[in-house]
Amino acid sequence: MNPRNLSMLLAIIIGAGLLYYFEKDPYSGPTEVPVAIAAFTRLDVQQVMRIEMMQGTNTVVLERQGDSWSVASVWDYPADHQEIDRLLADIRSIAAAHQRASKVASHSTFDVSDEAGLKIALKDSSGQTMTDLVIGKRDGFSRSFIRIAGSNEVYSVSPNLRARAAFAGSTLEAGRWTDKVLFRLPADAVVRRMHIETPEGLSQLIWKPSDNPPASQEDENPLVSGTEDPLWMVRSSADGELFPADETTVKGIISSLKNVQAAWPMDPSDMAALGLDPASSFIEVELADGSIHTIQFGQERELPAGGQGFTARVVGDHRTVLVRQWIKDSLLKGADVLRAAQDPPQDPDVPEDDTVLPVPEADPASDSDG
C-alpha cells in the first residue's frame, strides 16, 4: 500500500472514531435511578398552579384557580381537567429510567432538542419551577424519551408521555386542552318547555300533563315516557295551532341536550362576524325549576380537523366554539319534524282497502233483445 492510500485510510478511521465519539453514546441499563428522575415520584400535584408547554413556536399555558383549570392562551376558556390530571399523574409516575445519550448532538435523534422537543414546566403559586423537562418521541409502545431541562442526558422512561388525545400524537395545540363540554343538561332536570328557532320559523314545544299518566320506572323521566295521551304538544309560528308532538323526536332532543360537545374554541371578540349577534337559530329550554338555558348557532365553518361545523355559544357563558354539524341537527328541528304523524281522515263512503265489495247480480232485463 502506497503512503498516499495509507494516509487516506488512517484519515477515514480517525474520522469514523471521532464521529462515533461525538454522535453515539453507550447504552446504560437501569443501574441507578438519577436524582432528577427519582424526584418525579415526590411531585405534589396539588401544588402545581401553572403548566407551561412549548413546542417550536406553539405555546399552551394552563392555570389553576381553586379546583378549576383554564387555558390562559385560549381566552381563559375552561380547561379539560381530566386531561390535565392524567398528564400530572403520568409525570409523577415517571420511572424505569435507562440512559440512552449524554451529548447535545444526539438530542435530535430522540426529538428532545430545543427545536423539536415538547417542553413542560410545572410551577407553584409563587412562580417557582417545580419540574422542567423535555419530552421526546415515544420509545416503543409504553415508553418515551425525556431530557431534564438544562442537562444533556437523554433517558428512556415509562410511561409513554405523549399517549393522549390533547397531544394528537406529536403536536401541541392550545385548542385541544379546552373543556369540550359546552352544555350538559343535569341528569335530574325536568324540561317543561322548549323554543326552537330555525330559518323556517319558530316552534314551541309545551309539556301537557296527561290525564292518564303512565306508571314511570324508577330511572325514567316522566316527561318523556310513553303514553297514548300525548305529553308534548307543538305549535309553529306559521299556524299557531297546537298539535301532538312526535314523542321519539322530543326524546332525542332532550337526550342530545345531556351532552353538547364543542369541537374547537373560537375568538369571542366579534359575535357579529360569527353570525351570533343576532343569532338566526337557537334552542331555548325551560326547566321545572324556572331556569332557562339557551344555545345559539351561527355561521357554518370548516373544522380544523376536517368536516363542517357551526359557531355556537350558550347564553351566559363567555365561550364561543365550533360544534359539529350533527350536534346542531340533533337539536334544531322544524315544525314538520316535531309534529306527530296524523292518520289521514277516512271518507265514510270509501271502503277500506281490504274490504271486499259485493258483486251486483245481473239484471235479466238488460240481457233481453228488447
Per residue in 210-237, pLDDT (tens digit) is: 665 555 555 554 444 434 455 899 999 8
Distance between CA atoms of 367 and 234, rounded to whole angstroms? 61
Instruction: Return d(Cα 151, Cα 149) in angstroms, integer.
Output: 6
> With 60 as the cut, is the pLDDT of residue 31 above it?
no
Strand partners, 281: 297
**pLDDT mean across residues, the chain:** 85
d(Cα 339, Cα 244) in Å, to the nearest integer? 6
Are the beta carbons of 331 and 314 closer than 8 angstroms? no
Checking if the pLDDT of 11 tops 80, the result is: no
Which residue, 247, 279, 264, 256, is CA-closest to 327?
256
Distance of alpha carbon 230 from alpha carbon 242, whole angstroms:
12
pLDDT computed for residue 23 by the predictor: 45
- pLDDT, residue 10, reads 60
pLDDT recorded at residue 346: 59
Alpha-carbon distance of 221 to 82, in angstroms, equals 29
CA–CA dist 44, 40 (Å, integer): 9
Give whole-number Cα distances, 300 to 190, 281, 308, 311, 319, in Å.
31, 12, 7, 7, 17
Q: Are 277 and 288 in contact (CB under 8 A)?
A: no
Bridge partners, residue 232, by sequence: 207
Most confident of 25-39, 219-233, 281-295: 281-295
**Statement: residue 368 has pLDDT above 70:** no
Is residue 97 classed exposed, middle or buried when 0-12, 13-18 and 19+ CB atoms within 10 A define those classes?
Answer: buried
Rounded distance between C-alpha atoms, residue 90 and residue 85, angstroms: 9
Q: pLDDT tens, 84-121?
A: 999 999 999 999 999 999 999 999 999 999 999 999 99
